[in-house]
Amino acid sequence: MRFSPEKLSIPDQRMKSFIDPDEIWDLINNTKPDAQRVRDVIAKSLDKQRLTLEETAVLINASGTDLLEEIKQGARELKQRVYGNRIVLFAPLYVGNRCINNCKYCGFRASNTEAVRKTLDDSELIKEVEALEDNGQKRIILVYGEHPDYSPEYIAHNVKTVYGVKKGHGEIRRVNINAAPLDIEGFRTVGQSGIGTYQVFQETYHPEAYKLYHLGGKKRDYDYRLTALDRAQEAGIDDVGIGALFGLYDWRFEVMGLVRHANHLEACYNVGPHTISFPRIKDSVSLNLDKNYETSDEDFKKLVAILRLAVPYTGLILTARETPDVRREVLQYGVSQIDGGTKLELGSYSDTKNEDQDLNREQFKISDSRSLAEVIDELLDSDYLPSFCTSCYRMGRTGEHFMEFSVPGFIKRFCTPNAILTLAEYLCDYGQGETIDKGWKVIGQNLDKLETQVALSTREKIERIKAGERDLYF
């Protein structure tokens, strides 16, 4: 049984802030790397060791076109060595946008009286899930504002509802959550409903900056948010996602904060975050933020490559906040998951009457509104292997990114065959036009790279899929 300090009323040190802004600034300001040091740090990462804060600062402070290219090349190489060419696909599903908080950057903030507030009821949620299944989605993330209506019991109810929706061959096999931080009991309730990852983004790791953007409501408490995923761990959720919202404060500080957070989780719970997200601020209703910290495309590309190298075995999530062009480039630096066919307006997957983005109904504006089919088509054109795999989590193999990384042959035995099988299902059930041929070609290329026995059993399962069986995995 896990130690539960809250039951004994002992203050738990792990629920205290582990970010020391002076330490982080000191490292950023005083680490002056030469080219050899930068290369040594890249080599350490390629040797599959995660980086310390000081080593992360070495990469952050590396300058000059050649060294930057070496960092990007290191990230490309690590991605190829560790993750191969798979890209996992998912879609966000906004369930409710009521909110008691006042985050300056968000269209859902309580003070935004223009926002059209909505919470999906069961039948609306089911319709949305059916529409997502009709597109071929298998993995979704439920997104919520912070409001007493969105209790742990309510979220758990939504999760069970989503898993129960089956349309044709469609079903959702992994439900992740992006919602407010909960207390330990709350996390336990949501965890027991069978979620995949619970994501909470710190937005900015800088405590003073944090106060400037979070003007009211529970979210104003920096420490409570920072320790959210410690409580999740205490509640038995060992699959968690962290993130920072780039544009609120200096990007270099946020990268250090993310690495510190990842290292903290690993040190305390022996399991780092499953995923890291790095959204950049997008336009939302009456967004009136200081542009001092706007993260340029160049800095964004650099920071993704640095994150890849700093935390080699953590999944990196890139969303439709970015344009297709930026997504195309950043994918190479080690992104492992992207969304496709994303819509943010509540109810808009099933209600297709109004295709225009309307900021009064959305949290922010996205920059990639391509359908899932279009995103898959482009991935195939670039020889990526689109994947809807949910196998590890359902087989109880949690911490799969770590296994991909540390267990020899894991990717070739599990990840690639499962990606192939889920793509085969997609092509049989939802593939259209040229995508079908491109998809089978990519499947063929990847089968050829598998060991004979694994390739044989994957081919055998593909035949069963063609004959109508579904949900086959290793």
Binding site for ligand SAM (CB under 6 A): 105-106, 143-146, 178-180, 200-201, 203, 245, 279, 281-282, 284, 321, 363-364
Residue closer to ligand SAM (CB basis): 83 or 105: 105
State the minimum distance, in angstroms, from the CB of residue 57 to ligand SAM: 24
> From CA 89, how far away is CA 437, in angstroms rounded?
20
The secondary structure of residue 80, as a DSSP letter, is I
Partner that binds at residue 178, options ligand SAM, ligand SF4, none, CB closer than 5 to 8 Å by kind: ligand SAM
Cα separation, 238 vs 74, in Å, equals 29
Answer with the entry of ligand SF4, ligand SAM, none that 109 interacts with (C-beta below 5 to 8 A by kind). Answer: ligand SF4
| Of residues 125 and 180, the one with the C-beta less far from ligand SAM | 180
Please state the closest distance from residue 100 (CB atom) to ligand SF4, in A.
Answer: 8
Out of ligand SAM, ligand SF4, none, what residue 179 binds, judged by CB under 5 to 8 A for its kind, is: ligand SAM
- In the complex, minimum distance from the CB of residue 317 to ligand SAM, in angstroms, rounded to a whole number: 12
What is the nearest approach in angstroms of ligand SF4 to the Cβ of residue 130? 25
Choosing among ligand SAM, ligand SF4, none, which partner's interface includes residue 334 (Cβ < 5 to 8 Å by kind)?
none
176 binding partner (options ligand SF4, ligand SAM, none; Cβ < 5 to 8 Å by kind) = none
The item of ligand SAM, ligand SF4, none sharing an interface with residue 364, based on CB under 5 to 8 Å by kind, is ligand SAM
Question: Closest CB to ligand SAM among 350 and 367?
Answer: 367
Which of ligand SAM, ligand SF4, none does residue 439 bind (CB under 5 to 8 Å by kind)? none
Task: Read off φ and ψ for residue 246, nearest 5 degrees.
Answer: -75, 130
Q: How far is the CB of 128 from ligand SF4 (least distance, A)?
A: 18
Smaller CB distance to ligand SAM: residue 115 or 420? 115
In the complex, the smallest distance separating the C-beta of residue 366 from ligand SAM, rounded to whole angstroms, is 9
How big, in percent rounded to 5, are the helix, strand and coil portions of the chain? 50, 10, 40
User: 105 vs 430, which CB is nearer to ligand SAM?
Assistant: 105
Apex 379 CA angle, 374 and 162, nearest 5: 65
Residue closer to ligand SF4, measured from CB, 46 or 100: 100
CB of 175 to ligand SF4, least distance (A): 19
| Residue 408 exposed, middle or buried by CB count within 10 Å (0-12, 13-18, 19+) | exposed
Distances (CA, A) of 36 to 52, 57, 63: 17, 14, 13
E-state strands within 44-118: 86-96
Task: Give backbone dihedrals phi and psi of 94, rounded to 5 degrees, phi first.
Answer: -80, 120
Q: How far is the CB of 143 from ligand SF4 (least distance, A)?
A: 8
CB neighbours of residue 302 within 10 Å: 23
Nearer to ligand SF4 (CB atom), residue 287 or residue 403: 287
Return the closest-CA partner of residue 144 out of 135, 133, 156, 136: 156
Q: Which two tokens stand for residue 408?
A: 């020899």
Nearest distance from C-beta of residue 83 to ligand SAM, angstroms: 24
Nearer to ligand SAM, 137 or 178 (CB): 178
Across the chain, which distance is largest between two alpha carbons, in Å? Answer: 63
CB 273 within 8 A of CB 229: yes
Q: How would you classify residue 317: left for phi > 0, otherwise alpha for psi between -120 and 50, otherwise beta?
A: beta
Q: How far is CA 97 from CA 200, 380, 429, in A?
A: 16, 35, 33
Which CB, 319 or 422, lies closer to ligand SAM?
Answer: 319
Q: What does R_g of the chain's alpha carbons equal in angstroms?
A: 22
- Closest CB to ligand SF4 among 76 and 220? 220
Contact footprint for ligand SF4 (CB under 6 A): 99, 101, 103, 106, 108-109, 145-146, 219
Least Å distance between CB 105 and ligand SAM? 5
**End-to-end CA separation in angstroms for the chain:** 30
Query: Is there a contact between 384 and 425 (Cβ–Cβ < 8 Å)?
Result: no
| Residue 112 binding result from ligand SAM, ligand SF4, none, given CB thresholds of 5 to 8 Å by partner type | none
284 binds, among ligand SF4, ligand SAM, none (CB under 5 to 8 A by kind): ligand SAM
Partner whose binding site includes residue 252, from ligand SF4, ligand SAM, none (CB under 5 to 8 Å by kind): none
Separation CA 468–CA 51 (nearest Å): 46
* 210 vs 384 by CB, closer to ligand SF4: 210
What distances in angstroms separate CA 222 from CA 65, 140, 148, 429, one per listed residue?
Answer: 37, 28, 19, 46
409 closest CA partner among 461, 457, 451, 453 = 451
Task: Give the 3-state DSSP-derived string for 150-169, with helices as H, strands as E and coil as C.
Answer: CCHHHHHHHHHHHHHCEECC
Q: Which does 321 bind (CB under 5 to 8 A by kind): ligand SF4, ligand SAM, none?
A: ligand SAM
Q: How far is the CB of 144 from ligand SAM (least distance, A)?
A: 6
CA distance 146 to 219: 9
